[in-house]
Structure 1
C-alpha cells in the first residue's frame, strides 16, 4: 500500500459516523478509499446507509489533516498498518462484517496458517482460574497455538505470560493507540510480548482512552480466533461480551465450569447452562471439538516409541484398547471406570505420545 493509499484509508477511518461497516460499503462501490473522496456527493448519498450528513463530513479538510498527522506517527514509530483487503490482514478477521478497515500492528506477529485461540476472563482471577489457564496453555504448547487476549489484569495477562513461558506466540489486543499502554503496570511485559508476537489495535495515537473502547477492542479478540475460551467471569463482564461477539461470528465458545456458589464462575456456568458455550475441562476438549489432527500439528513429528512411558490410568486405557479394533470415547470411559473428562485428557496425552489415534465420531484405536 502506498502512502497516498494509506492516507486515504486513514482519512476515511477518521470521519465521524462512518464506521467500518459503512467504510467498506463506500470502498466496495467506489473501488478504493481514494476514489470515495473523488466521487460526486449525489452518487454517494445513493449508497445504502450513507446519508447526506455523513457525506458532508467526508469532504471536511480537517479529517484529511488529522490523517496526515497519524500517517507521520505510523511511519516514525515503525508501526505496520494492515488494510482489510490486503494479504497480510488476519484471515479470520476478514470474515467479520464489522472488522476494522485498518489494523495497526507492532511486534513480530505471524498468523499465517496458525491455530489461534482467544483466552479471556475476569480481571480478578482466582487461584482456580490461574491454575486452569496455565495448565491449558501448557497442554496447547505442543500444537504451536497462538494465544490472543486483551493485555488487561487477571486472566488476560495470565494467558500472555503462560504463552511466553511455553514459547508460544501471543497477541495483545489494545483498547487504545500504540503510543500508550494500559494498565501502565503491564509495560514491563511489552518487550516480551513483542518478541513472541505483538499487539493489534484499530485506535489512533490521538484516540482518547475510554472504558467504552474495550467493547470495540473485544470484537478484534473474538474475530482473530478460531475459538474463544472464557476462564472465569462474574455474572456480568467484558469477557461475556467477547463470548457473545464470537458467537455472532459463528466461532466456537468454551467456558470453564466452576462451583455454583463461586462469584467468578457465575458467568461461565451461565454460558454453559444457556448453551452459549461448550464446557471445557482440558485442552483435549478443544482438540476434539475443533477437529484438530494432533499427530500432524505438533511442533515436532510424533513417532511411536518401542517403550513409551504411560501413567497407570493410561495403561488401563491402552490395555483395554489393545484387544479392540476401535472404541467410542464414552465406552472407553465406562469400561475403564474413569470419568469421561479425564479419559479425554488421557487420550490426548496418549495421542501425543503416538500410541493412540483419534477417528471421526469420538472413536479411538491403538496405533
Structure 2
C-alpha cells in the first residue's frame, strides 16, 4: 500500500466524509495518523469514540488511487491546502470547538489576517443594509483589519466589496467546494477575493452548495474572526446561527440596529435586546476588542478628505453622513434646487466621494 504522510491522510479522511470530531479520535488513537494505511481492520474497528459505520467507511475507502486522484486535482486547480497540523493554520480558528481539520484555499493567509472581523446578514438586504455593510467593511479595511464573510448575495457580497474598495483584505468562507462558485453571479468577486485575500472551504472539491452546509460554514466565519457584526437578519436567519457560534466561541457579537417595522431587522434588534453590542460607528468595534484597541480611528482622515469641498458640496455630504438618502430628500434638506443637487452629485461621484445606489438614492463612498 502507498505511503502517505499525515497531511495527505487528513485530506483523504476529509474526502471520504469523515467528520472533524471523528478525525480527532483517530488522531488520538494513532501515534501518526498515516499509520491508518497499514493498520489491519480489527485495529481500526477497535478505535473508541466513533461509530461502526465510520470505521467501516474508513476500511472500505482505503484506496491509494482515490487519494492520488484527489491530490492530482488539487494540484491541477491550483488549490492551497492547509491542515490543522500546519503552522499557517489560522490561529483564531485553531482552538475553537469542532474546528475544520482541512481547509481548501484559493489565495494565501497572511499574519495580518489574524486581526479580522466578520460581517454577516440577510441575502435580501435593503439599501440601508447594503450601505451599512459597505461602510463598516470599507472602514475596517482602511485600518488594516481583514473582513470575513460568506460570499452570499446581499450583506455578504457588500462586505467583501467594501473591503476591496478600501484596498484591504477579505476572506470568503464557502458553503460549497472551493471549485464550486455560489452564487454563480459572484464569479468575478470570487476571483478578486482570491487575488486580494482568501477564498476558503472545508468541503471536498466538487461539493455542491447544499443547505446543510451553510450552518457548518458559519462556525468557521465566526471562528476565524475576533468578532461578528450582524447587519439585517430575520428572526430565523442563518446570520443568527453565526452569532450563536461566536458567543459559544467567546467572540464578540455586534449588531447594527434597524427599522423596528422591518422583518429584515427583527433578528438584529433581538440580538441587541439580548445583549449584543450596538454598532453605530467603527469606534464601537475598536473599543470592545482588545487586539484592535490600538488601531487609530479613520474619522480624522475622512474629514481631511472633505477639506477642499465647496460649501454646496459639503451641504450634500452632510446630508449623507447618517444614511443613504434619495435625491429628492437632499433637495428638501439642503434647500437647493434640483438642478444644482444633480450637478453637484455628479461632481462628487467623479471625485469618488459619493455613489449612486438603486432608485436615485445616494451614499458616501
Q: What band does the TM-score fall into relative to the shorter chain?
A: 0.7 to 0.9
Which residue is 1:55 aligned to?
55
Gaps of 5+ in 2: 301-306, 308-365
Deviations along 1:263-297, one digit per CA (max 9) or x if unpaired, are 1100001111122x222111111111113455x54
- Asked if the contact 2:174–2:199 (Cα under 8 Å) also holds between the matched residues in 1, the reply is yes
Structure-2 residue corresponding to 1:219:
219
Residue 127 of structure 1 aligns with which residue?
Answer: 127
CA contact (8 A) 2:141 2:147 kept: no
Structure 1 distance, partners of 2:196, 2:47, is 43
Indicate the residue corresponding to 1:6 in structure 2.
Answer: 7
**CA deviation after TM superposition for structure 1 residue 71, in Å:** 1.1
Q: Which residue of 2 aligns with 1:93?
A: 93
Kept in 2, the 8 Å contact 1:232–1:265? The answer is: yes
Aligned to 2:156: 156
2-structure distance, mates of 1:213, 1:234:
19
How far apart are the structure 1 equivalents of 2:226 and 2:52?
Answer: 39
Q: Tell whether 2:281 aligns with 1:279.
A: no
**In 2, Cα distance between the equivalents of 1:292 and 1:5?**
33
Instruction: Give the TM-score normalised by the residue count of structure 2.
Output: 0.75
Residues 1:151 and 1:288: Cα distance change in structure 2 (over 3 Å): same
Secondary structure of residue in 2 paired with 1:199: strand
- Residues 176, 213 of structure 1: 8 Å contact kept: yes
Answer with 157-166 or 70-79: which moved more.
70-79
The alignment status of 1:67 with 2:67, answered yes or no, reads: yes
- Are the equivalent residues in 2 in contact too, given 1:234–1:264 (CA < 8 A)? yes
Distance in 2 separating the partners of 1:66 and 1:212? 25
Count of paired positions? 299
Query: Structure 1 regions of 5+ residues with no counterpart?
Result: 303-308, 310-367
Using the size of structure 1 for normalisation, the TM-score is 0.75
Could you tell me which residue of structure 1 aligns to residue 261 of structure 2?
Answer: 261
Give the conservation status (yes or no) of the 8 Å contact 1:149–1:160: yes
Q: 1:22 to 1:40 in 2, by over 3 A?
A: same
* 1:141/1:208 CA distance change after superposition, 3 Å: closer
Partner residue, 2:116: 116
Take 2:52 and 2:170, find their aligned partners in 1: how far apart are those partners? 43
Q: Which sits farther off after the overlay, 157-166 or 104-113?
A: 104-113
Local SS of the residue matching 1:117: strand
Shift of the 126–50 alpha-carbon distance from structure 1 to 2, 3 Å rule, reads: same
Give the match for residue 252 of structure 1: 252
Contact kept, 8 Å, 1:258 with 1:268, in 2: the verdict is yes
The 8 Å contact of residues 119 and 147 in structure 2, kept in 1 or not, is answered as yes
2:230 corresponds in structure 1 to 230
1:299 positional shift:
11
- Verify the 8 A CA contact 1:134 1:158 in the aligned structure 2: yes
Matches within 5 A, 1:1-367: 4-16=5-17, 18-61=18-61, 64-112=64-112, 114-275=114-275, 277-292=276-291, 294=293, 296-298=294-296
Indicate conservation of the 8 Å contact 1:121/1:155, yes or no: yes
Does the residue aligned with 2:26 lie in a helix, a strand or coil?
helix
Q: Deviations 1:82-112 (Å, cap 9, x if unpaired)?
A: 0112111111111122111110111243245
| Offset from partner CA, 1:102-132 (integer Å, 9 cap, x none) | 1011124324563110100001111211222
Q: Contact 1:82–1:102 (CA<8 Å) still a contact in 2?
A: yes
- Judge conservation of contact 1:255–1:280 (CA < 8 Å) in 2: yes
Q: Distance in 2 between matches of 1:22 and 1:10?
A: 14
Distance 1:120 1:111, change over 3 A: farther
Contact 1:45 1:51 (8 Å CA) reproduced: no
Q: Could you tell me how far 1:44 is from its partner in structure 2?
A: 4.5
Give me the CA root mean square deviation: 2.5
- The 1:31/1:156 distance shift into structure 2, 3 A limit, reads same
State whether residues 105 and 200 of structure 1, in contact with CA within 8 Å, keep that contact through their aligned partners in structure 2: yes
Q: Is the 8 A contact 1:174 1:200 kept in 2?
A: yes
Q: Which residue of 1 aligns with 2:326?
A: none
Matched residues in 2 for 1:46 and 1:112: separation? 43
Q: Counterparts of 1:96 and 1:237 in 2: how far apart (Å)?
A: 22
Paired residues of 1:30 and 1:39 also in contact (CA < 8 A): no
Check the 8 A contact 1:27/1:36 in 2, yes or no: no
1: CA distance, partners of 2:140 / 2:208: 37
Measured after TM superposition, the shift of residue 65 of structure 1 is 4.0
